[in-house]
Structure 1
Amino acid sequence: MNPADLSAVLLAIVVDAAGRRGATPELTLDDVPLERPRNREHGDWASNIAMKLAKPLGANPREFAEEIAAGLREVDGVSAVDVAGPGFINITLDAAAAGALAKRIVEEGADYGRGDLYAGIRINLEFVSANPTGPIHIGGVRWAAVGDSLARIFEFEGGLVTREYYFNDHGAQIDRFARSLLASWLGEPTPEDGYGGEYISDIASRVIAAYPGDLFHIPRDEQQEVFRAVGVELMFGDIKASLHDFGVDFDVYFHENDLHESGAVDRAIQRLRDLGTIYEKDGATWFRSTDFGDDKDRVVIKSDGEAGYISGDLAYYLNKRERGFERNLIMLGADHHGYVKRLMAMTAAFGDEPYVNLEILIGQLVNLLRDGEPLRMSKRAGTVVTLEDLVESVGVDAGRYALVRSSIDSQVDIDLDLWSKSTNDNPVFYVQYAHARTRSVARNAAEFGVDRSGFDASLLDHETESVLLGILAEFPRVVRHAAEERAPHRVARYTEELAGAYHRWYDARRVTPLGDEPVSDVHRTRLWLNDAVGQVIRTGLGLVGVTAPERM
């Protein structure tokens, strides 16, 4: 019996018990808590539903729990139900009911655990969005790994996800980039506010190679414009290629400059003007964002006629909504906390629901460590540690996994010495090795004539099998929680827990017969369990963008 089926049974029993007390609570499966007990001696599943509902029903929690327990004891597949403390309900399944999950997982394959949390909902997930003025630094790399994993999880929960990259190719940073390229070509010092690093001279040389005309005999301002146009395009291409090599591709690359050239900024400001939230003061045009929870009003058009910073945000958000996205998520770095209030005020001003139609995720810093010391500079970028530095040190799989396995709310220190090891100390190696072991077991089983022609769930009665089945049963809820909480690290940590349980089972149980022992349903049934574990590890690693090797 899987958790969803048990939750449905428990819900029906609770509603029936409440009805006998003259109550008709409107409950859904989400209202029925069902957890794995920390101490497995307490059973396979536990619920505090009786304590949760006792007060609204005017009932004694323990008495209500005993009433629910009596109903559960009549359910096929439930071997024992106990009530503990003030009303905890502990449920133990018989081996056959628990073991049936192994067969179900293998039969469902990659669809096991798939949910419908966001079924049919159009989601725009914007992440990385680094300026096209240099290689992606390690903070942006974290968003590449986390954002792509979150997109995979949303899709696994039925969401219609568009991965979007917003290129900030409008404004002062692009001017500084162009001046830096031009200075490098002319052999001049890097401008005081410019960009340094080997990549600048590399891009400058490529601009010269790509430009068909003679740059020497045109005015300096025209030279700078060539370096701006061609240089940004080359940098853009390098960023795309680096992300692709990291396993991250985007559906849409949106250019900020297009908003300004297409008139989208003016249209967004006019929309707010029509809604009565725009006013003029000191020669500038202002958005009255304080009416919607912001700490101060924001300039949308400066007194010199230039667009204020928030004007692009107004146009971009409106553009996303006009494209039909019901949920829009933007991932920003730790230094962007101050943007949240103004963006939520913008959302409300357009008549939408903050934190629903628009959501901002803030991620903390990442440090790469070698020999216990933080890396400070990149050979190529000259100032920051980049995506290439991470991949060159530990590879794509380890790099992605290391960035995903911690909550975005926490700062991450990635020990390059640890993550480059091919030992069980390296978390991604530990999980990948478990998957490779499941495939090795399957290959050995085939050589011994063990196949999946027979299955008897009651034979999965060892303690390690009970633990393993319990963890497998949790996978759908782990993925759902990861989607709800925007926490792909939950999936990564889950695969580690599953790998550990599998390794312990492997040490305790054999899939292939010993000596002259004949092949039996014991071996066949264990092969089903082995293959179920392999499937779930494979799916879990896929959700965090990491490969599941067949051999290691």
Structure 2
Amino acid sequence: MTPEQLSDAIVDALNALVAAGTVSLPEVPTRVVVERPKVKEHGDYATNVALQLGKKAGIAPRDLAAALAGQLAEAPGVGSVEVAGPGFLNVRVDTGSQGVLAGEVVRAGSAYGRSDTLAGRAINLEFISANPTGPLHLGHTRWAVVGDALARVLTAAGARVSTEFYINDRGSQMDKFGASLMAVANGEDVPEDGYHGAYVADLAAEVVEAVPGIRELPVDEQLVAFREKGYELQLAHQKADLATFRTIFDVWFSERSLVESGAVDRALAVLQKEGHVYEADGATWMRTTDFGDDKDRVLIRSNGDMTYFASDTAYYLDKRLRGFDQCLYLLGADHHGYVGRLQAMAACAGDEPSYNLQVLIGQLVKILADGEELKLSKRAGTLVTLTELVDLIGVDALRYTLARHPVDSPLTIDVAEVTRQSAENPVYYVQYAHARLSSILRNAADLGLVPAPDAADLSLLSTAREGSLLRALAEFPRMVARAAELHEPHRVARYLEDTASAFHKFYDECRVLPQGDEEPQPIHAARLVLVDATRTVLANGLELLGVSAPERM
């Protein structure tokens, strides 16, 4: 019995009590919160529904719980129900029926864990905003993982998600970039405020090869040519690096295009209609103080130049015009002070900031190699790039490690620890569990045995270890939905580690396959289905994190 099935059973029991006149309620809830109790001895599941509804029913919560317990005890799959404290219900599932879940998981396959929790919601998820002037670095790497995992989790919960990379291709840094490439290509010193990384020389050579005769152009034309071709080539490198890292964006959005497409003018029209734009000192302002900002923000300077905040405003409204209900931003720790003005901007546009615009702030990551921190500095040329990190740690280990921690907490990664093949390394521990499950299934196939959920007697899965593993599998869909609702993909990793632990304990105590000349028994067939179900759940969970599920290790 899954938590969702138990919730339905409790709702049915409440409706039966109301129909019988035993309980009077103005409205019976359609969904009841069911949780795993912190103390294992209290049962398989617990609910405080009687505490929530007692006052509405006009009776003591404990009396409502007692009536509900009597009704619920008759439900299929429920073993026993106990009333605890002031009105809690502790429920134990029927040991003979809980095994049915294993068959449901196997039949669902890759779809197990998906739900319609967020169905009908259109979400734009922007999780990397970078200049196309150099390689992606460590700060981008954390968002490449967390953003991609969050997109996968939101999609699994039924939302329509579009992932977006915001290209910062407007501003003085682009001219400095072009000037740096041109200087290197012509054997000159890079401007002091230019880009000095070793990658600049390689990129300049690529530009020269791609645009024959570029160095013979007049200086002004040459600068533009180096800037634009360098931009094109560097952006292609960024896309290739992210693809190798298993992060694929649906949209690469150019900041330049906001002006070229008229998005800024459209944004100003929306803000003027809402009454939150005014002129002062020759500039155009947004009255964000109307919604809690510490000061009003300039959109168009007195010299006619558009501010970055004007770009941000136009970009947000462009997303909304494209049909997205929610715009999620994943921003670095240095943007913490930006959240208030973004929310005020959304309010000025007539939106509800707490729903339409949400911001996740991520903290810094440090990498330790041989006990020393790897430093990064983009312009000084000592940066640690995404590709260097992948070469140093590996895609799976790096993705899993970055995904398993809450983004609002600083993170230190020790290269030696995350690449160690031991049970102390979480990614290895989970992947090894999947490989071990796959090995069991291969060995079963050698014996002529295959998981057969429709033929096996799954009621035989009644031991304590089997029950613990089945309850862990039952939690997967609800955990995914919860991770999506809270925007916390790290919950998936922690769940996988707990489930891998439950499997290893099961396997240590429960023999799955016959040994020697022993004939296969019904219990072997049932446990083989449980093994296949567990493998399915671990594979589905790893897929949500963009981490591979190896069949051999």
TM-score, normalisation: structure 2: 0.95
> Counterpart in 1 of 2:67?
67
Letter in 1 for 2:399: R
Q: Distance in 2 between matches of 1:377 and 1:268?
A: 37
Aligned to 1:369: 368
Aligned counterpart, 1:309: 308
Counterpart in 2 of 1:91?
91
Match of 1:177 in 2: 177
2:298 match: secondary structure: strand
What is residue 518 of structure 1 aligned with on the other side?
519
CA contact under 8 A between 2:451 and 2:532: conserved in structure 1? no
Question: Against the structure 1 CA distance between its residues 72 and 168, is the aligned structure 2 distance closer, same or farther, given a 3 Å change threshold?
Answer: same
Deviation string, structure 1 residues 346-380 (Cα, Å, up to 9, x no partner): 21222222132221111111111112332114899
Q: Which residue of structure 2 lines up, in the alignment, with residue 24 of structure 1?
A: 26
- Shifted more, 230-239 versus 55-64: the winner is 55-64
Cα shift readout 1:109-164 (whole Å, capped 9, x = no counterpart): 11112100222322211111211111111111111111111111111112221111
- 2:533 corresponds to which residue? 532
Per-residue deviation, 1:99? 1.0
Please, which moves more after superposition, 508-517 or 94-103? 508-517
- 1:180 deviation in Å? 2.1
For the pair 1:163 / 2:163, whether they are aligned, the reply is yes
In the alignment, the residues of structure 2 paired with residue 368 and residue 211 of structure 1 have an alpha-carbon distance, to the nearest angstrom, of 38
Equivalence map 1:366-515=2 (5 Å): 366-377=365-376, 382-453=381-452, 454-515=455-516
Amino acid at match of 1:157: A
TM-superposed deviation, 1:107: 0.9
For residues 443 and 336 of structure 1, the distance between their equivalents in structure 2, rounded to whole angstroms, comes to: 50
Q: 1:513 is paired with a residue of what secondary structure?
A: coil
SS at match of 1:351: coil
In the other structure, the counterpart of 1:111 is 111
Contact 1:204 1:231 (8 Å CA) reproduced: yes
Cα displacement (A) at 1:339: 1.7
What is the CA–CA distance in structure 2 between the aligned matches of 1:282 and 1:199, rounded to whole Å? Answer: 44
Deviations 1:226-263 (A, max 9, x none): 22111111110110010000011111111010111222
Partners of 1:199 and 1:380 within 8 A in 2:
no
- Distance in 1 between residues matched to 2:471 and 2:371, nearest whole Å: 38
- Structure 2 CA distance for partners of 1:176 and 1:425, relative to 1, 3 Å: same
Question: Is the contact between residue 125 and residue 327 of structure 2 (CA under 8 Å) also seen in structure 1?
Answer: yes
Offset at 1:386?
Answer: 1.8
Specify the code of the residue in structure 1 equivalent to 2:401.
Answer: A
Q: What are the within-5 Å matches in structure 2 for residues 259-274 of structure 1? A: 259-274=258-273
Partner of 1:80: 80
Q: Secondary structure at the match of 1:367?
A: strand
3-state SS in 1 of match to 2:36: coil
**Structure 2 counterpart of 1:3, which letter?**
P
State yes or no: 1:228 paired with 2:227. Answer: yes
Contact (CA 8 Å) 1:125, 1:147: kept in 2 or not? yes
Q: Secondary structure at the match of 2:123?
A: strand
- Mapped contact 1:449–1:519 kept (Cα < 8 A): no
User: In the TM superposition, what are the counterparts of 1:245-394 in structure 2 within 5 Å?
Assistant: 245-377=244-376, 382-394=381-393
- CA distance in 2 between counterparts of 1:459 and 1:169 reads 62
Shift of 1:292: 2.3
When structure 1 is superposed on structure 2, of 1-10 and 76-85 the one drifting more is 76-85
Kindly indicate whether the alpha-carbon contact (under 8 Å) linking 1:406 and 1:489 is maintained by their aligned counterparts in 2.
Answer: yes
Secondary structure, aligned partner of 1:279: strand
- Regions of 4+ moved over 6 Å: 378-381
3-state SS, counterpart of residue 97 of structure 1 = coil
Structure 2 unmatched runs, 5+: none
Mapped to 2, the partners of 1:380 and 1:402 lie a distance apart of 27
* Distance in 2 separating the partners of 1:450 and 1:108: 20
What corresponds to 2:130 in structure 1?
A: 130
**CA distance in structure 1 between the aligned counterparts of 2:276 and 2:450, rounded to whole angstroms:** 69
How far off its partner does 1:15 sit? 4.5
Q: Deviations over 1:70-105 (max 9, x none)?
A: 111122222211112222211111212211101111
Quick one: distance in 2 between partners of 1:433 and 1:328? 37
Distance 1:274 1:42, change over 3 A: closer
> Alpha-carbon deviations, 1:194-227, whole Å to 9, x = none?
22211111111111111122414x3322222122
Q: Decide which moves more: 443-452 or 287-296.
A: 443-452
Identity of aligned residues (%): 52
Q: Which residue of 2 aligns with 1:141?
A: 141
Partner SS, residue 200 of structure 1 = helix
Q: CA deviation digits over 1:34-75, x for unaligned, max 9?
A: 111223222111111122222344432222221211111122
- In structure 2, C-alpha distance between the alignment counterparts of 1:112 and 1:157, rounded to whole Å: 11
Answering whether residue 547 of structure 2 is matched by residue 546 of structure 1, we say yes
Where structure 1 has 5 or more consecutive residues not aligned to the other structure, the ranges are: none
Which letter does structure 1 place at the counterpart of 2:463?
H
Q: State how far apart, in whole Å, the 2-side matches of 1:45 and 1:525 are.
A: 24
Match of 1:48 in 2: 48
Q: What SS class does the counterpart of residue 120 from structure 2 fall into?
A: coil
Distance in 1 (alpha carbons) for counterparts of 2:197 and 2:251: 29
SS at match of 2:27: coil
CA distance in 2, matches of 1:384, 1:46: 51
* Alpha-carbon distance in 2 for matches of 1:143, 1:242: 14
1:337 aligned counterpart, secondary structure:
helix
3-state SS in 2 of match to 1:313: helix
The Cα of 1:301 is off from its aligned counterpart by 0.5
> Secondary structure of 1:144's match?
helix
What is the SS of the residue equivalent to 1:128? strand
Q: Distance in 2 between matches of 1:417 and 1:76?
A: 51
Kept after mapping to 2: 8 A contact 1:368/1:414: yes
Any idea what SS the aligned residue of 2:285 has?
strand
Using the alignment, how far apart are the partners of 1:449 and 1:187 within structure 2? Answer: 70
Contact conserved, 1:96 with 1:456, CA < 8 A, in 2?
no
Q: Aligned AA for 2:425?
A: N
Q: Does the 8 A contact of 1:105 with 1:112 survive in 2? A: yes
Deviates more, 1:165-174 or 1:50-59: 50-59
Check the 8 A contact 2:287/2:348 in 1, yes or no: no
Q: Classify 1:197/1:164 alpha carbon distance in 2 versus 1 (closer, same or farther; 3 Å).
A: same
1:516, CA displacement in angstroms? 2.7
In the alignment, is the contact (CA less than 8 A) between 1:96 and 1:460 conserved in 2?
A: yes
Question: How far does residue 442 in structure 1 lie from its aligned partner after superposition?
Answer: 0.7
Given that residues 165 and 253 in structure 1 are in contact (C-alpha distance below 8 angstroms), is that contact kept between their aligned partners in structure 2? yes
Whole-angstrom distance in 1 between the partners of 2:378 and 2:191: 20
| Residues 214 and 222 in structure 2, CA contact (< 8 A), matched pair in contact too | no
Judge conservation of contact 2:433–2:504 (CA < 8 Å) in 1: yes
1: CA distance between counterparts of 2:27 and 2:120? 29
Distance 1:260 1:143, change over 3 A: same
* Stretch deviating more after TM superposition (301-310 or 191-200): 191-200
Per-residue CA deviations over 1:390-445 (Å, capped at 9, x if unaligned) read 10111111111111001111111111111112222221111111111111101111
Counterpart Cα distance in 2 of 1:25 and 1:152: 36
Q: Secondary structure at the match of 2:353?
A: coil
CA distance in 1, matches of 2:451, 2:335: 54
Q: TM-score, normalised by structure 1?
A: 0.96
* Closer, same or farther: CA 298–469 of 1 in aligned 2, 3 Å: same
Q: Matches of 2:276 and 2:378 in 1, distance apart? A: 49
